[in-house]
Structure 1
Amino acid sequence: MRLTLVLFLLMSFNAAAFGLKIERKQLPYTNLVTMPVQSGEQTLTLAGELRVPRGYEEQKIPAVLVLHNSAGIDSTGRLYIEALNKVGIATLEIDMWGARGLSGGSGDRPETVHETLADTFAALKFLSNRSEIDPDKIGVMGFSWGGALTMLSATEQYASMFGGEYRFAAHIAHYPVCWAYSVIPEFAFENLTGAPVLIQAGQLDGYDAPDSCQNLVDGLQPSDKQYVDVKYYWGAQHAWDRLEPKWVVVDPFANQGAGGEVTLAPNRWAAWKSRNKVVYFFKDKFEM
């Protein structure tokens, strides 16, 4: 009886009665934005979600462009976006499929990654001209298809072709199908811009051999190798940070180009570790 009375009394008082100060979570400013992009002979309207953390209105802040996988925008990007926003980094996640009327997946995406390089640099130009963004501290992070874009955007060849004077300050590529850069000429990963590149890979990725990403880096010229690091997550499959039900897809790029099935499976341990790695990497490179 006495215990019940005590609990009742405690529940009857609100936090203010005890002199407790409750701080409400400050959500970032969120804007749905559009930007023009020239893709081949087409002029497209690219849409995205720009999130700018609160409390930094008197200064320019860093930003990260987020590039989705073949499936399109899903839960993957948001895992990192929220963590980056919390430490004062703005984010822009763009929808590369919506502008083209595509549904995504290996059966309904552009024929080549290169078709969306224009999207990547259009978004960089957009961020560079925002009053709240520091144009010298804009990074890019992509997943699978977006990871390949992240890799190619770190090369002078494609940065010059699509970006003109604009360059990313840092790159993180998640499971970017590493075998392709040593085999397909159009994917040549060389003559880098000098911005740091982090490749995050799963040891059980069905697109690559377990050592494909490390072999890629080991084969770089010393002038390029100095800018690139690899982080492996043992036991992690492709799209380990897509925290949605396991999904088996068929892709011609799978199994080191032989094609076939690939399992996309969430791994919460690897997702947590890679999220922390992303935040640390960008904070370090942006000198925050």
Structure 2
Amino acid sequence: MRTMPSILLAAALLALPASGLAAVRTQDEGGPPTMSTARAPAPERVVFRSLDDAQTELVAYLYTPANVEGPAPAVVLMHGRAGAYSSLADGVYDVTTLTMRHRYWAQYWADRGYYALVVDSFGPRGYPGGFGRGSYGDRPDAVNEVTVRPLDAYGALRYLRTLPGVDDDRIGLMGWSNGGSAALATMADDKPGDMSRRGFRAGLAMYPACGLHNRFGRTGYSTYAPVRVFMGTDDEEVSHDRCRDLIGTARARGNDVTFTSYRGASHSFDDPGRRRQSVAANARATADVREQAAIFFTEALAPRQP
């Protein structure tokens, strides 16, 4: 298993000046985007390097916001254990076979003026179809959500900061299930340097598994930026109470973190498909989390005060 020093090294790399990467933008440079009448382009397949030891070349799908001119915020999207693609992909792994949930949320953010980057962590490592339920103990270290996938998130962050249309100081992170666990590990305050300036501005974790390989058992979990966690009480894959306790303890220690619990909602409650949304508790939770997520990123990714 890879160890946390790899993440520390990656964080240190992020602290180094990069070619074409401006220092943190001021409010004047990164103010509210100007609206235009341009039509949103189709999602674009892009590649960039993870910050893992192998410098894995990752595949991702970039959704560009419509009707925006000037520096815009961005969101990195991290898939769950089933991977980025639909179970009906039938060997075709591209933007056309992204899951309904990933397509929905990427477009959701793009429609609100954000660049949205759906990162495929599994396909480039030989597992495009992801992993089945109950396979946790059999998954390879190459896709570990605590020691490896955060390095993918930071690779995505570095990539977005090379794009001229992205405000490099207003980038958030969102993940589901295994990707939600990766988001929690990514946002953990265990990295050198001022990550509140060089890292993600905020993180959203949807129904993550909160064991996190016992990484924070001794020190306790803390974050370098605001984090919000959303989970249903009837989650059938991961422990609702374990996450509630992890985030509750972090909040008690002064971290800007919250845990929102949806009574009766299941794992993957926000999947827009008919099967999940036919459950009333899931539909209610989905409507609320969409609103809460939009409010959170509007506030957390706002231009900094000078």
TM-score (norm 2): 0.70
Give, in whole Å, the separation in 2 of the partners of 1:34 and 1:109: 24
User: Which residue of 1 is the match for residue 177 of structure 2?
Assistant: 144
Q: Highest CA radius of gyration, 1 or 2?
A: 1
Among 213, 216, 220, the residue aligned to 2:243? 213
Amino acid aligned to 2:116: T
Give, in whole Å, the separation in 1 of the partners of 2:39 and 2:125: 35
Quote how far apart the aligned CAs of 1:165 are: 7.5
Quote how far apart the aligned CAs of 1:76 are: 1.8
Among 272, 277, 286, the residue aligned to 2:287? 272
| Residues 187, 227 of structure 2: 8 Å contact kept | yes
Give, in whole Å, the separation in 2 of the partners of 1:265 and 1:101: 37
- Unaligned stretches of 5+ residues in structure 1: 1-23, 248-263
| Residues 38, 67 of structure 2: 8 Å contact kept | no
Give, in whole Å, the separation in 2 of the partners of 1:63 and 1:105: 28
SS state at 2:187 partner: coil
Amino acid aligned to 1:166: R
Aligned length: 240
Change (3 A) 1:66 1:266: farther
Change (3 A) 1:187 1:105: farther
User: Which residue of 1 is the match for residue 234 of structure 2?
Assistant: 204
Per-residue CA shift, 1:1-36, capped at 9, x if unaligned? xxxxxxxxxxxxxxxxxxxxxxx9933453211002
- Unaligned stretches of 5+ residues in structure 2: 1-36, 85-98
Structure 1 position 186 matched with structure 2 position 215: yes
SS state at 2:265 partner: coil
Which of the pair has the greater relative contact order for Cα pairs under 8 Å at 6+ separation? 2
Per-residue CA shift, 1:191-234, capped at 9, x if unaligned? 421x11000011111244443332222222644x4310111111
Seq. identity, %? 26
Amino acid aligned to 1:138: I
Q: Which has the higher strand share?
A: 1
Give, in whole Å, the separation in 1 of the partners of 2:281 and 2:139: 23
Change (3 A) 1:196 1:156: same
Give, in whole Å, the separation in 2 of the partners of 1:88 and 1:30: 14
Amino acid aligned to 2:71: K
Change (3 A) 1:221 1:284: closer
Give, in whole Å, the separation in 2 of the partners of 1:207 and 1:187: 21
SS state at 2:174 partner: strand
| 1:45-194 alignment runs, 5 A limit | 45-57=57-69, 59-73=70-84, 74-102=99-127, 103-106=129-132, 107=135, 109-111=139-141, 112-113=144-145, 114-157=147-190, 159-160=191-192, 166-178=198-210, 180-181=211-212, 184-187=213-216, 190-193=221-224
| Residues 239, 266 of structure 1: 8 Å contact kept | no
| Residues 27, 54 of structure 1: 8 Å contact kept | yes
